[in-house]
A and B are shown apart, each in its own frame.
Chain A
Amino acid sequence: MTMKIVEDEDRDLIPRWRRFSKSIGETRAITPPSELETYVQVISPELLSEWKVAPSLTLASEIVSSAYLANSRQPALGAAKMVVESTSITGLAKKLAKEILGHPIEPEAATLFEEDEWVRQVRVRTNRYPRDPIAWVDLALGYVISGKIKHAERALKVAISLAPDDRFVLRAIARFYVHQDRSDLALHILRKSLATKHDPWLIATEISVCEALDRTSSLTKSGRTMILKSGLSPHHLSELSSEVATLEYRHGNVRNAKKLFKTSLLDPTENAVAQAGWASRREEAFTFPVRASATGLQSAEALAWEAYSDSDWSGAGDFSTQWFKDQPFSVRPALLGSCAHGIALENYDEAIKVCEKSAICNPNDVMLLNNCAYNLAMDNQLEKAERYFDRISGEIEDKEKAISTVLIATRGLLRIRQGSIDIGISDYRHSIAIALGNRDYNRAVMAASNLAMELKSINRPEEARQTMMDTLAMEKMLDDNLSQLVFSRAKKRIL
């Protein structure tokens, strides 16, 4: 198995967690009510007959409300016009009247808010009306992004107590606990809800949480039956099909998995597209039109990985930034983004921005801390880099070999830039040796190339040249785009 520089990790359909305003599509009813007739069908005749004889602004605003409920514009045009033209009526009444007159609706200012302002607004919402579970979930998201995990958990607990069977709330809470490495709690809450057994979205979530815990879900069977027999719309079944497909693939049943992935892409969610993209990068038999779906649904994750595998570095950077903005608490877009911006494009400012922001809500992620330190060191912000590097807990040498290869190389970089050149060089050489011992040529070449560049920058061109010459033999073993890029760039600059 080859070892990529940016790990395209094992992936499950853990729900996305976005602001409510961006998640409405995921909250649709599975079976809409059979009664389609609107409750209010006509504008109140009492109001209209009164309007004919004695029109007034108060009456006009009542007619506007009635017309809005009845979705009937024509008889209310005069009243709506009076409300719109009035200088004393503002706010909602005017907005409804404008809708009746067919005036263009001004975009909500809220969508333009920056994150901090958005969180402030959401806090106002929970203060004003504490029974609104949706506001609590949004607030929790804001807290997670700001790294206030305990506050977020408290907010989610309020939300779940207010709406224990709501899909949006349950999926958010599942996402939160999985992110906090407390998937068992996520599972407990999901299983406690009466909705989970009957809702394909929640069944998909339950199965994916079980997978995160290495457990078998008791709902897999009913999930399969639901896909085959329920007759639900493909959109409702998208994530469930995708998660069951992932299970089939893991169990080696590629044919079934392929069929299910195709079902998941009939009317997919963005997450299902990303999952299909992940699967197709792993298995040649999976040839799905992922790019088209990803573009249509703006699946930044799928597009970022596509760009990465096409060595389209600016695309990988841009899409990973988009992916990061969509899922700011997830560490994966930050890892990919920091590599694309920092290592590939040498845009350290952008890489540092992504890393530091992600480190707020992922304060203990080893690779993220490493990437922070690396990019800061490359930008000569050594003190800050050192601070991030020191936050990595445990013995570096005791970690998984691929990780300790990277960490030791970063330590080498820091030492060299701090003036402890020999210790730094020895760290680099140690890192290369571990990588070679692990047959991880991508990382070995990466470390060697970086060492050579550092040697060149401290005016030791011969040693730099020699390091590159020693590495040349490994070139044909490289199978990762990023290490190929770094190696060829170093060759060009040194040899």
Chain B
Amino acid sequence: MLRPYIETPKDKLKIGATIGPWVVRERLVSQQQVVGESGSFFSRGYIVENDKGESAFLKAMDYKTAMVLYQHLSPTDAMLQIATDIAFEKKVAMHCRRMSRVITAIDEHTLNSGSLDEWVECIIFEKAEGHIRKFIDFSKELDAIFILKALHNTCVGLSQLHTNGMAHEDVKPSNVMVMNRAEKHSAKIGDLGRIVVKDPSVFGLSKTPAHFNYAFPGDKDYAPPEAMYRARLDMDEFQHRVICDLFQFGSLVYFCFVNVTMPAALLHYTHVDHQPANKGYFEAIPYLHAALNEALRDLELASPPFIKDELVQIVQELCNPDYRLRGHPRDIRGRSYSPSLHRYHPILNRLLRKTTMQVERSA
């Protein structure tokens, strides 16, 4: 059930109000929020503009909304936790500024008038045109070039995060931001609110953000099977978080062509006796493999014929239901187990070129 929405300070920035060099131009309603929002209604989006006429996206967060999330804590602890969460997101956003395929934070401000309840924390990000879902039009012929380009960019963005000791944890269509479709087809990975870092001390916080304690902090609709089965894993925690990103990226590839998320496809093809309510994760793995095999058949049917084998290969490696085997075979073979998305950049690039040539040829 949807909770009735009650406006809080983050929703009340006035049009024309000035925040540092930025002027608020537009308040976004939920469906228009280009960056931000992971379903928690923790933030509100605005379009702002500076004196050079450059537009940007402002993500406003406040303490009042966040308090609802921590009702189980004492008011002091809740406040401390909220402050940590917000400070973390701000620091992460600023930390990622040099990453070319990650939505970049340009600026940050705190509107600290009145009591803490009234404070609004603002992060200003570069503005995207919208998320990928807005641009994939299933009712028209599949725009494979656009999709592959966006997937390639997302893959690079996630690798940039991983290389810097960060796991995104919330890869899904609404978090893939299309930057300038008309000219470059470029995309970036956005919404860094669920990021988990390998070494929190880098950010100099006395406390870790609340979502660090979750086995899987991202949107449950896109969770990997080990999270759905609530498995206890025998693996370095951060490494597993990177592996979750791998699954989610594979699921994104799958969704772009099949129009179904991978968790839903796996559930559909898994017999009820082998679903989470009736079987443990490790016992269910052979049957999840069988389910993935069926799901891959749908991908085969839905993909452009000239790249279907490669797409099936990518998805079967990235969505391997056994988290210990997820990733490129060269990364998981032998002693140096180090799953990553690096090896998929050239593969996606090759698919993009192949598709472009094919489209040009048929044109």
Contact = CB atoms under 8 A, between A and B. Distances in A.
| B partners with A | yes
Contact of A24 (B2, B136, B273, B316): B273
Contact of A162 (B219, B274, B286): B286
Query: A interface, by DSSP: helix, strand, loop or mixed?
Result: helix
A168 interface: yes
A257 to B, nearest CB: 31
Interface string B114-136: 00000000000000000001101
B307 interface: no
Given A39-B227, A62-B133, A33 B276 contact: yes
A69 B264 contact: yes
B268 A92 contact: yes
Nearest to B2: A45
A128 B312 contact: yes
A433 interface: no
A49 B133 CA distance: 15
Contact of B293 (A89, A128, A168): A128
B85 to A, nearest CB: 18
B39 A45 contact: yes
Contacts of A135: 290, 293
Contacts of A50: 30-31
Contacts of A131: 289, 316, 320, 325
Nearest to B135: A58
B6 interface: no
Contacts of A128: 293, 296-297, 300, 312
Nearest to B317: A131
A24 B271 contact: yes
Query: B interface, by DSSP: helix, strand, loop or mixed?
Result: helix
A66 B280 contact: no
A28 interface: yes
A91 B298 contact: yes
Contacts of B325: 131
B31 A58 contact: no
Contact of A132 (B229, B277, B292): B292
Interface in A33-90: 33, 35-36, 38-40, 42, 44-46, 48-50, 53-54, 56-59, 61-62, 64-66, 68-69, 83, 86, 88-90
B279 A32 contact: yes
B77 interface: no
A93 B257 CA distance: 10
B29 interface: yes
Nearest to A30: B283
B267 interface: yes
B260 A38 contact: no
Contacts of B278: 28-29, 32-33
Given A53-B29, A96-B268, A168 B286 contact: yes
A117 to B, nearest CB: 15
A189 interface: no
Nearest to B279: A29
A27 interface: yes
A129 B138 contact: no
Given A49-B2, A89-B138, A89-B259, A96 B220 contact: no
Contact of A61 (B228, B259, B290): B259
8 contacts: A33-B280, A45-B39, A64-B260, A68-B268, A69-B221, A86-B139, A92-B259, A92-B268
